[in-house]
Chains A and B, each alone.
Chain A
């Protein structure tokens, strides 16, 4: 590299996961001098997206024990990739081969941690209020499915869905609408249900078994044991996000979830954050219980504060090791799990079954910018019981095979969950560790965590105020007779 990194910052951020990137953007936004650095040569860490070539290579760089910073507690585990098609097919054949699929490698954006966003969730509100929404595009999920009585069924989400659904009887329609309205109005009284389950509540409402299934497993994304108040909260959240963008409450970011971290990093850079990927991070400079800087290659770089992804931390910072994992599968298939005329972006909420946890299944077509035409990418996400292969066997058996969609390529792995750990116990006071991906469907919890960490580090500072639009920026040195005084403050100059 021809350039040396500057050697003094207010804050150094190591790792480009979602929480780190949000903190980076927020710090740059209030004028802090930020160094955002990663040992990987890509953005996103455990939240990244890869093309087909790159994800295969990821599987082969097994547990390289780094002499630099980092630990292996949070590494992706149980990586297994399998092809289900021949390596070549005759030139005249229209069947997919490994070769023809790999030729399209770049068209794939395969997420390690696929997420959706609630249309009225905290995350979408933050994107809008901070003006970060301009860096990415979204598609709305076009249908929500569940697995009921041995087959796929469309979950009636909205009022019009409820009425259009021909599997739901007229009486059921009324019941469901009544429930939605009652929850919406907030007039229901739940005080008898404080110690009961959501299932018990729905049963008491005399909903039919099918309706209980729709509401419990799909709309509220609960299990049989979920407390009533949690179930109510989840249902309201689902209903609240309806009708803003598209037919369901959910949005997916075009080109994959890996775009999200990049959007925050771009904002950070636009506000002066210095970015350096692929850096030889050697270690931390500590003085007793105080962080003073990092060693990067031969350089020593100083800062008052360090924020880092938990997976980048020295092993002795990690007192508690991950206890549970997120089981993951990524499949490339040749048909939708439920074919229809138009291409759908499908969310399937698969209920718990036979000792296996409930599973989120996300099916993405080429309109999402994550796979080539005529193919689909299917993500499976669940709390791990035995391991990804075994945990998903029953679902994959039910959804794919002869007469149904075929799996061309599959990839299984587990991501250790760092979200239930106390990551503060062994770290110096001015060091903050960020957890990796969680099991949530969305980013709202990640935003909450990032905001709490930011406020902890920079008390009394505004968290991601709205960035001005280009039209509003007045560049200093120009004579301007407009009186946009308040905006002028936004365009301070850097001294280099």
Chain B
């Protein structure tokens, strides 16, 4: 399980109710959760995928509901390699908020972070945002674009695989936002190992 070559941090943002949690769970667990409400205690989900015969581990972070009242912590954006901005194609206000989200991303995320715009819920009949409108917005802001349905499993796999492949390419050309490797990681497991010896550095 732990023999991966690359670990990438992917974060999701977007208005409440656009389907961020459903996208993550569709991809990592292959299911569409029935009923509403976030699962308590889930911080991020992990899935290891194969890209060109290499194991790539994706660590996918969800907003923990802090987006509901526009209160996402800056630290949520730190060290992200890719950022997925989600709106709901059947809900105009979630599209209208995109510029606000971009402003926040500009402010807090690395300028090199890979950005993807996602229009979710394409299974719905009551579409309000035509595909080309989303496409144009993404193009204007230098983002990838994809429409998905977490419910029908449309394009979800493709979304995350595309991100994994792109980040791999960047990693190979050393164009990834680089987060300094010599920072100290003090989580429990490593510290028990390090207790007796000196000058431990991890990651």
Contact = CB atoms under 8 A, between A and B. Distances in A.
Q: Do A and B assemble together? A: yes
Interface of A: 1-3, 5, 43, 106, 124, 127-129, 131, 133-140, 158, 242-247, 251, 254-255, 258-259, 262-263, 265-266, 269-272, 274-279, 367, 466-468, 470-471, 473, 475-478, 490-496
Contacts of B184: 137-140, 245-246, 251
Contact of A491 (B39, B79, B180): B39
B38 interface: yes
Contact of B42 (A127, A134, A244, A270): A270
Nearest to A466: B188
A277 B41 contact: no
A385 B42 CA distance: 48
Interface residues of B, number: 49
B71 interface: yes
B30 to A, nearest CB: 10
B106 to A, nearest CB: 8
Contacts of A1: 69-70
A470 B64 CA distance: 14
B20 to A, nearest CB: 14
13 contacts: A128-B186, A129-B188, A134-B187, A139-B182, A245-B199, A263-B75, A270-B43, A274-B69, A277-B69, A278-B70, A468-B41, A470-B46, A491-B40
Nearest to B188: A128
Given A140-B184, A467-B43, 19 more contacts: A1-B69, A3-B16, A128-B191, A131-B188, A133-B186, A251-B186, A262-B74, A262-B75, A262-B76, A266-B43, A266-B73, A266-B75, A270-B40, A270-B42, A277-B69, A473-B41, A473-B42, A490-B41, A496-B36
Given A128-B188, A131-B188, A468-B41, A247 B199 contact: yes
A262 B69 CA distance: 16
Contacts, number: 156
Contacts of A466: 188
B29 interface: yes
B200 A245 contact: yes
Of the listed residues A136, A247, A495, the one surrounded by the most CB atoms of chain B closer than 10 A to its CB is: A136
B107 interface: yes
Contacts of B31: 478
A139 B183 contact: yes
